[in-house]
Amino acid sequence: MVDDAGTESLRASAMTDTASRKDFYSRIGARNLKPLWEVLRGQLTAEPKPPEAAVLWRYEEVRPFLLEAARLISVEEADRRVLVLENPALPGKTRATQSLYAGLQIVMPGEIAPCHRHTPTALRLMVEGEGAFTAVDGERTSMQPGDLVITRSWSWHDHGNGGNGPVVWLDGLDVPLVGFLNATFFQDYEETAHPLVRPDGDSQARYGTGILPIDYQAAPASTPLLNYPYRITREALNALEQAGDLDPCHGVKSRYINPVTGDYAMPTMGAFVQLLRRGFRGARYRSTDSTIYQVIEGSGRTILQGQTLDWHAHDVFVVPSWEWHQHQTDTESVLFSFSDRPVQQKLGLWREQRDCN
C-alpha cells in the first residue's frame, strides 16, 4: 500500500508532469507543432461521425418564399434566384451536407438567369412548371418535371422561362468539395445569354441513343449528354419493376451514367433514381455517402434512428452518412437522389451495410 507520504509524492509528481507538458505544448505550439496523441482519437473514429443532420424541407412551405423572393429580387440582381437548403447542423455553411450544396431556384416568365461558368459541376432536377430551359455551351434543352439536366464543369450556361407561370428546379452542386480543394473559378459571360451554336436535342442524338459519331474518341469526365428526360427514365423504371428487379432496401434503383463510358454522369456527384411500390417497406440500409433526396412522385416516409421524415411530392430531405434508414411508401413513389459516392468509390473509401433478413 502507498502511505500518506507516498500519496503526496505521487500527487506532486503528477502536478510537475502536468506543468511540464503544458510548458512543452506551449513551446512547440509557438513553432506550429501539435501533439498528435492529444487529437488522434478525435480524428480516427471507429466509424463515420457526419457533421450534418437528417432534415426535410417541405416544398409546400418553401414555395411561398420562392414566389416572395421573385417579387422582391430581380433575376438580374440575384444572378441566380435560389433559396439554399442549409443543413441546420451546418449553420452559415450554405450546404446541405458536408460536401454538397442544394438549393431551389425559381425563374419567372420571360426571365433569363444570366450566363456564367464555374468549375463546380451542377445538376438540375426539374420540379414544377412549363417552359423552362437551360442552355449549356450553346445547346438549349427544355426542362420538364422530373428531367435531370447536367451542367459540366467550366461550361457556359444560362437558364430561362418561356412559359406563362413560374418554374422551379432543384440545384445540386459540388461547391463545398471543390472549395475544399481550392479549385473554385467563376466567370461571367459578356452577354445575358450564350449564342446557340447547336440545335435542340443535339447531345441526345449524338450520345443518348446507343450510337456514337464514328470519329468520337474523347472520354470526358462528365457526361456529354445534356438532358436525361424523366419520360424515358420512368419507362425504364416501370420495365424493371415489371421484370421483378427489386432490391429489398431500394426497390427499383438505377444510377444516371455517362453513356460513352458507363461511369457516373459526373465525376464528383452520383445521381440516382428509384421506384418504390405502393406499400413498400424497405429493409434498413446505410452507406458512407450522405445523400440528398428529392421526391419526384408519391408519398411516404424515411425512418432513421429516432427520427421519421414524412415526405410528399417535391419535398427534399437529407440522410447523413452511415446512418441506418429505411424507406416506406403510402403510394407508388419515385425518389431522385445525389451524393458524393463517385469520389468515395474512386478513392476506395465507400462502404455500405444492409440489414436484410
The alpha carbon dihedral of 67, 72, 74, 78 has a sign of negative
Whole-angstrom distance, CA of residue 160 vs CA of residue 142? 9
- Provide the grid cell at 90: 451546418
pLDDT score recorded for residue 17: 77
pLDDT score recorded for residue 18: 87
Whole-angstrom distance, CA of residue 157 vs CA of residue 136? 4
Q: What is the mean pLDDT of each run of 10 residues along the chain (357 residues)?
A: 58 70 94 93 92 98 98 94 98 98 98 97 98 97 98 97 98 98 98 95 92 82 95 98 95 96 96 98 98 98 96 98 98 98 98 86
- Provide the grid cell at 183: 479549385
Whole-angstrom distance, CA of residue 318 vs CA of residue 320? 6
Q: What pTM was computed for the model?
A: 0.93
Q: By the 8 A CB rule, do 218 and 139 touch?
A: no
CATH superfamily for domain 55-355: Jelly Rolls (2.60.120.10)
How buried is residue 39: exposed, middle or buried, by Cβ count under 10 Å (0-12/13-18/19+)?
Answer: exposed
Beta bridge partners of 304: 307, 325
